[in-house]
Amino acid sequence: MEKPKFQLKRVSGQPVNDNELIEDLKRVAQEQGANVLPQRIYGDYGNYDISTVIRRFGTWNNALEKANLGISNRINIGDEELFENILRLWEHYGRQPRRIELANSPSKISQYPYNRRFGSWTAALQAFVDFANGGDIEEIQTSSTKTWSEKRNTGRDPSIRLRWKVLQRDNFKCCACGSSPAINPGIILHVDHIIPWSKGGETTFDNLQTLCSRCNLGKSNEI
C-alpha cells in the first residue's frame, strides 16, 4: 500500500502576493478545461477567497484579464468586440463555432454577454453573419485600421468584415498547403498580405490570403 505523501498547506491569514493569486486562477481554469472562469467555479476549486482576489485587483474581471483568461460576466460589451470573438472562434475551428466552445480558449467572452445582447447564441451568430456579409468590398477595404502611414489607401490590419470575406473565399483553408482546422485540429489560420505591407502591399481583398501559421512563418523566412 502506497504511503500518503506529505502536503504543505497554506496557513490561514498568511499573506499572498499577486502572482500567487494569478497562478491559482490559471490552475483552476486549466484543471476545469476552460478559458472562462466564473466566480462560482473558483469558489469551489480555488485556494484563496474570492473577496481576496477582488480586493487585490479591483474587480473579478480585472483579475481574469491579468491571468489572460476570458471575461465571464462583463456588461456593456460592444457589438464589434462580440463579433471579433466569434470570428476568432470561426478561424480557430474552421467552422461555425458552438455555444459550448465559448468557455474554451481562444474565446475571451463567455456565453452570457451574447445572451444579454442578442437573446441566444443562435441569434448572436445570425447577427454576426448579417454584419460580416454587409457592405461592398471597397467600403470594407477602406475601413481597415489606419496605422503609421497616412499615405496608404488602406490601413494595415483588415477589418472583421474583410477577414471574414477572405476566409470565406478561401474556404477556411490554408492557400499554401490546404490545411484546415475543421480537418486538422491544431491548425491556426491567419489572414496575411500576399505582397507584404512592408513592401507597399495594401490591405485589399485581392492582396490577402489565408495561411496556416506554419506556412505563414515559412513565407516570412523567405522574405
pLDDT tens digits for range 50-61? 989 999 998 888
Question: What are the angstrom distances between the C-alpha of 96 and each of 111, 122, 147, 167?
Answer: 15, 11, 31, 12
Q: Phi and psi of 46, rounded to 5°?
A: -80, 160
Mean pLDDT value of segment 5-11: 54
CB burial readout 56-73, b (16+ within 10 A) else e: bbeebbebbebbebbbbe
Reported as type and span, the H/E element at residue 19 is: helix 18-31
The domain locations on the chain are: 18-66, 79-133, 137-222
pLDDT tens digits for range 123-167? 999 999 999 998 777 667 755 555 545 567 788 889 999 999 999
CATH class of 137-222: mainly alpha
Angle, helices 50-57/18-31, rounded to nearest 10 degrees: 130
Hey, which of 97-111, 179-193, 206-220 has the most confident mean pLDDT? 179-193
Residue 32 pLDDT more than 90? no
Q: pLDDT at position 12, please? A: 52
Residue 175 pLDDT more than 90? yes
Q: pLDDT at position 189, please? A: 94
Q: pLDDT at position 73, please? A: 66
Mean pLDDT value of segment 108-133: 92
